Chain A
């Protein structure tokens, strides 16, 4: 099933399949190791469309809601 990061539940695992954005967004994500193929675990999300926190490798990353919506996982 394909969904974006904001739709995942806390504790759910997924694999990034697509990042819907321009080169700038891709580059930013790439710097922290988020790209198609990366496995991620959702840790938590803040209320009222706050940032989403995921785990990539051994690192936790906080991602703004708008950005998180453009990261598609399966």
Chain B
């Protein structure tokens, strides 16, 4: 099958074009390096079915990071197998810089067609590009598009097969000179006043105004996530479960004879003739309640806010402002983006480390993510459990995790060989998020969460029941009692939570509810559950990204630091 490779600089909208061409939704955002893995989809060109590949962004064909390496390898494979077409997506507002890759691609033995994306923005910026002239010079088709709205995409598809290989000749050393000549002939820039967004852009990146803005923005973001999450739980989902689901489950309970093995697995314990969705621990009660009512509202709220930030272009600016702090832990400013993604779910967080240049940075950020960045599912459960004791208690849990993050980061930065490179990144312009794209992205992520989480939560609750009914927990509790009890100050039943935490952290936190812990024990257990080991999904992706040897190193750091921090908390509190 013929392959269409979408290639271009980072952050030129390749993923949006991909979604338009194939109807397959992929995550796209307004910062360089959103796509670190390639996605595939299919489309029709005439009567032919072709494969479309969304290639990670690259500035040139000499790779500088793992993501760029992936891009170049896809291109090489396609040249060898002689069945590819490159759609070179170019940011029309940045023609000069983008042409660097274009000229490199035109030298390869593969047909190329150029897509001038962000065409609508050139007008606001006072840039006019003579498309016909550019097409004559480059000797390949050039099609202007605005991918978010879909304008011009049809024209691109219509002319796909006109793509030509080795269409433009130039001397390698003369490349920039050549680009300069092209720009002089096709592009005119007229003067204009600064827009409001540009002035905001400048203010948000100057230290004097930028830092207060950043603190304000982050504060509002968390406030917003908590109110949306709590609001949805309190006013929508809990009432639905209490008024509609609970009576149904009570009926089922009486049909099942109000007790016995099957009843306990499906419904769980009944408290004073009622189902307690947080404590009953049946598959159909707590197993459904945890993902849909306790966690989903927070996941939804978090991704709503995150998607807005991603598309607006604020994240790289936050990275620049946080650069100094991130250097303390051996990363540069952009490392903060993988940490933010990790707060949603560690899996995409770890994948995002691929844009980093060195193995050292990837190891540090993956380890920090696994130890001290709890995912939203876990955060939601902790907020539900510890939040009852007030915001101070919550701040203590997350403050402790932040200190752990900082301390372990500083230690790794001091002890690991090598240095971390400095920040060097394009800051995208602010864009007002496009509503349709935002909703699609949010829906994809929420759907992704439900698909990945619900089966594991149900399995987790099932296993909890098995562990208890066969007295395995009693046995393990006796075995691990000395560590759990004397070191961490937790009841031996907490070992069950640690065991299930490997499957799903949210279920594990939920298992603390029936244990009747004191506030001190709750705090310790929350911190320990966040730190001790990643859940199975994160574990799999960590092994894939780090390799077995580094994963063992990373796991050793996790377990050791958990015992240290948990023990210390037990002594201090």
Taking beta carbons and an 8 Å cutoff, which residues of A are in contact with B?
10, 27-28, 30-33, 35, 37, 43-51, 53, 56-67
Nearest CB of chain B from residue A49's CB, rounded to whole Å: 8
Chain B 85-116 near chain A by CB (<8 Å), digits 1 or 0: 00000000110110010000000000000000
Nearest CB of chain A from residue B191's CB, rounded to whole Å: 14
Nearest CB of chain B from residue A33's CB, rounded to whole Å: 4
Cross-chain contact of B333 among A10, A33, A49, A51 (Cβ < 8 A): A51
Could you tell me if A32 and B426 are in contact, using CB atoms closer than 8 angstroms?
yes
Could you tell me if B97 and A59 are in contact, using CB atoms closer than 8 angstroms?
yes
Could you tell me if A44 and B206 are in contact, using CB atoms closer than 8 angstroms?
yes
Could you tell me if B206 and A61 are in contact, using CB atoms closer than 8 angstroms?
no
Given contacts A57-B96, A59-B97, contact A50 B323 (CB under 8 A): yes
Interface size class of B (residues with CB under 8 A): 20 to 34
Contacts of B127 in A (CB 8 A): 58
Specify the chain A residue showing the minimal Cβ separation from B320. A62
Specify the chain A residue showing the minimal Cβ separation from B99. A33
Interface check B425, CB cutoff 8 A: yes
Could you tell me if B422 and A31 are in contact, using CB atoms closer than 8 angstroms?
no
Given contacts A31-B59, A57-B97, contact A46 B324 (CB under 8 A): yes
Main secondary structure of the interface of B (DSSP, over half): mixed
Q: How many angstroms between the C-alpha atoms of A47 and B320 in the bound complex? A: 11
Taking beta carbons and an 8 Å cutoff, which residues of B are in contact with A?
59-60, 62, 64, 93-94, 96-97, 100, 125, 127, 176, 201-202, 205-207, 316, 319-321, 323-324, 332-333, 421-427, 429
| Inter-chain pairs besides A33-B96, A53-B205, A53-B320, 16 sampled, C-beta below 8 Å | A30-B60, A31-B59, A31-B60, A31-B64, A33-B97, A44-B206, A44-B207, A45-B207, A46-B320, A46-B321, A46-B324, A50-B207, A57-B94, A60-B427, A62-B426, A64-B332
Could you tell me if A53 and B324 are in contact, using CB atoms closer than 8 angstroms?
no
Q: How many angstroms between the C-alpha atoms of A33 and B176 in the bound complex? A: 9
Contacts of B316 in A (CB 8 A): 62
Contacts of A56 in B (CB 8 A): 97
Q: How many angstroms between the C-alpha atoms of A52 and B429 in the bound complex? A: 17
Q: How many angstroms between the C-alpha atoms of A57 and B483 in the bound complex? A: 61
Nearest CB of chain A from residue B352's CB, rounded to whole Å: 18
Main secondary structure of the interface of A (DSSP, over half): mixed
Q: How many angstroms between the C-alpha atoms of A63 and B14 in the bound complex? A: 25
Could you tell me if A58 and B93 are in contact, using CB atoms closer than 8 angstroms?
yes
Cross-chain contact of B97 among A32, A43, A51 (Cβ < 8 A): A32
Q: Which A-B residue pairs are the 6 nearest by beta carbons?
A: A64-B422, A31-B59, A33-B97, A60-B427, A44-B206, A47-B207
Cross-chain contact of B100 among A10, A33, A45, A50 (Cβ < 8 A): A33
Contacts of B421 in A (CB 8 A): 64
Contacts of B429 in A (CB 8 A): 60
Given contacts A51-B320, A53-B205, contact A60 B176 (CB under 8 A): no
Could you tell me if A44 and B205 are in contact, using CB atoms closer than 8 angstroms?
yes
Could you tell me if B64 and A28 are in contact, using CB atoms closer than 8 angstroms?
yes
Could you tell me if A64 and B64 are in contact, using CB atoms closer than 8 angstroms?
no
Nearest CB of chain B from residue A18's CB, rounded to whole Å: 16
Given contacts A31-B59, A31-B100, A47-B207, contact A64 B426 (CB under 8 A): no
Nearest CB of chain A from residue B534's CB, rounded to whole Å: 31
Specify the chain B residue showing the minimal Cβ separation from A10. B206
